[in-house]
């Protein structure tokens, strides 16, 4: 009988606890102060996590700069972009190696606008805040953004920052028509045809059809040479080919729209709060999170306020005690006075104790409210 009474009371108490819990959750959801505190706490946690992530990325960015002070590393990254992943030699030997693939190395100097005009990936030299050079690969460029490859990691940076940090020196891998540096009447037909396709792109003439080294092609070449300020001799040498680079077919174009960069490289950490500020060392003052102690104090204040409101809600819950009954066999005093279990009403004081015991074990998660 004692066991049966205990089980009955336990079931009754569990049901009552569930009801109390539901009432508490409902009241907390409708309490404006509680919801405001919850929102403040969530915003604080989100901001703290965001700033921790930014600081982590700043550390990575600074480390990448320190590991990119040797040009060979960036040059090897560019070689990998062109499919030469296993080459470990120096720059000169790599330039000799890629000639067998119809490519040439070119080291030159110019502005970011010059690079944009040529529309091809480059390995470039930048300067950090102490004017120490480091090297990156420019993968993409848009009106507002650029994507650089540094120490094997890609970063989105502001174009304006890149233009200021750029020293002017850069290298590129130059795809020549069929690998030839000089194209004229006795060049192979395959080489002449490759040149004809480039010439058609220059004139934006989709209707052009290559018919060999004829007068039409020579005239087009001479007009191009005149536009470049070169001698119009109809012989295509290295200077003419350099001017035609933007119209040469390859898979390493850099020009993108802003949306294309933000879409194609969406998994890369954004630049506004990390890379640009990191290189000027202003990140620690501009976007650094609150001092750790201040952040903890603010979070503790919000959590304490939330706890106080939860306690007020807890104390405001009134259980209907009119018909609550328990087995006296569970009460030590009742056990001492009688061997026959009989029911008795719970007093107001016992009810308060019971309510406090019940509600203290509700274990309401913040997400539930």
CATH number for 233: 1.10.101.10
Do residues 355 and 23 lie in contact, with contact meaning Cβ atoms separated by under 8 Å? Answer: no
Residue 302 placed within a domain: no
* pLDDT for 243: 95
- Looking at the fold, whether 104 and 211 belong to one and the same domain comes out as no
pTM, full prediction: 0.63
Sign for the pseudo-dihedral over CA of 338, 342, 343, 345: negative
- Looking at the fold, whether 72 and 154 belong to one and the same domain comes out as yes
Q: Which of the listed residues 221, 247, 273 is the one where a domain comes to its end?
A: 247
Q: Measured between alpha carbons, how far is residue 267 from residues 98, 151, 190, 263, 286 in Å? A: 32, 17, 41, 9, 24
Residue 56 placed within a domain: no
Backbone angles phi, psi at 277, to 5 degrees: -70, -35
- Looking at the fold, whether 333 and 191 belong to one and the same domain comes out as no
Q: Which of the listed residues 268, 286, 304 is the one where a domain comes to its end?
A: 286
Phi-psi domain of 106 (left: phi exceeds 0; alpha: psi -120 through 50; beta: other): beta
Structural domains of the chain, count: 3
Question: 345 forms bridges with which residues in the sheet?
Answer: 325
- Looking at the fold, whether 93 and 156 belong to one and the same domain comes out as yes
Residue 150 placed within a domain: yes
* pLDDT for 214: 94
Residue 275 placed within a domain: yes
- Looking at the fold, whether 88 and 123 belong to one and the same domain comes out as yes
- Looking at the fold, whether 190 and 163 belong to one and the same domain comes out as no
Residue 112 placed within a domain: yes
Range of the domain at 93: 67-176+249-286
Q: List per-residue pLDDT tens for the chain, 369 residues long.
A: 555 554 555 555 566 667 777 877 787 777 888 788 878 877 877 776 766 667 777 788 888 888 999 999 999 999 999 999 888 889 999 999 999 999 999 999 999 999 999 999 999 999 988 888 999 999 999 999 999 999 888 999 999 999 999 989 999 999 999 999 999 999 999 999 999 999 999 999 888 889 999 999 999 999 999 999 999 999 999 999 999 999 999 999 999 999 999 887 755 544 444 444 333 333 332 333 334 455 566 656 666 666 666 566 555 544 444 333 333 333 334 444 444 444 444 444 544 444 444 445 556 666 666
- Looking at the fold, whether 194 and 168 belong to one and the same domain comes out as no
> Which structure tokens are listed for 369?
């409210």
- Looking at the fold, whether 359 and 264 belong to one and the same domain comes out as no
Cα–Cα nearest to 138, from 88, 188, 74: 74
> pLDDT tens, 243-296?
999 999 999 999 999 999 988 775 554 444 444 433 333 333 233 333 445 556
- Looking at the fold, whether 89 and 231 belong to one and the same domain comes out as no
- Looking at the fold, whether 94 and 211 belong to one and the same domain comes out as no
* pLDDT for 35: 81
Residue 105 placed within a domain: yes
> pLDDT tens, 27-76?
777 788 878 887 887 787 777 676 666 777 778 888 888 899 999 999 99
- Looking at the fold, whether 7 and 152 belong to one and the same domain comes out as no
Residue 153 placed within a domain: yes
- Looking at the fold, whether 167 and 185 belong to one and the same domain comes out as no
Residue 267 placed within a domain: yes
* pLDDT for 85: 85
């Amino acid at each position: 009988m004692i066991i049966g009474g205990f089980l009955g009371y336990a079931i009754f108490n569990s049901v009552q606890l569930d009801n109390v819990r539901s009432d508490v959750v409902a009241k907390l959801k409708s309490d404006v102060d509680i919801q405001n505190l919850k929102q403040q706490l969530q915003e604080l946690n989100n901001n703290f996590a965001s700033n921790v992530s930014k600081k982590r990325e700043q550390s990575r960015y600074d480390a990448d700069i320190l590991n990119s002070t040797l040009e060979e590393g960036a040059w090897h990254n560019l070689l990998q972009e062109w499919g030469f992943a296993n080459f470990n030699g120096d720059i000169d030997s790599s330039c000799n190696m890629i000639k067998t693939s119809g490519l040439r190395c070119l080291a030159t100097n110019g502005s970011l606008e010059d690079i944009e005009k040529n529309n091809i990936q480059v390995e470039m030299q930048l300067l950090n805040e102490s004017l120490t050079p480091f090297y990156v690969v420019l993968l993409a460029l848009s009106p507002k953004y650029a994507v650089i490859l540094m120490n094997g990691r890609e970063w989105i940076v502001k174009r304006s920052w890149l233009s200021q940090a750029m020293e002017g020196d850069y290298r590129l891998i130059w795809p020549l028509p069929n690998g030839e540096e000089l194209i004229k009447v006795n060049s192979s037909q395959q080489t002449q045809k490759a040149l004809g396709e480039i010439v058609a792109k220059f004139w934006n003439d989709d209707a052009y059809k290559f018919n060999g080294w004829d007068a039409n092609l020579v005239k087009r070449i001479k007009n191009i040479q005149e536009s470049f300020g070169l001698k119009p001799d109809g012989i295509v040498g290295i200077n003419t080919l350099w001017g035609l680079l933007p119209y040469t077919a390859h898979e390493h174009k850099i020009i993108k729209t802003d949306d294309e960069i933000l879409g194609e490289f969406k998994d890369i950490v954004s630049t506004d709060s990390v890379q640009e500020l990191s290189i000027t060392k202003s990140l620690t003052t501009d976007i650094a999170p609150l001092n750790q102690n201040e952040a903890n104090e603010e979070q503790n204040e919000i959590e304490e306020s939330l706890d106080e409101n939860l306690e007020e809600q807890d104390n405001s819950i009134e259980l209907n005690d009119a018909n609550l009954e328990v087995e006296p066999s569970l009460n030590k005093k009742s056990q001492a006075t009688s061997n026959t279990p009989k029911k008795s009403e719970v007093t107001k004081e016992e009810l308060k104790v019971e309510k406090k015991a019940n509600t203290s074990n509700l274990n309401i998660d913040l997400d539930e409210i």
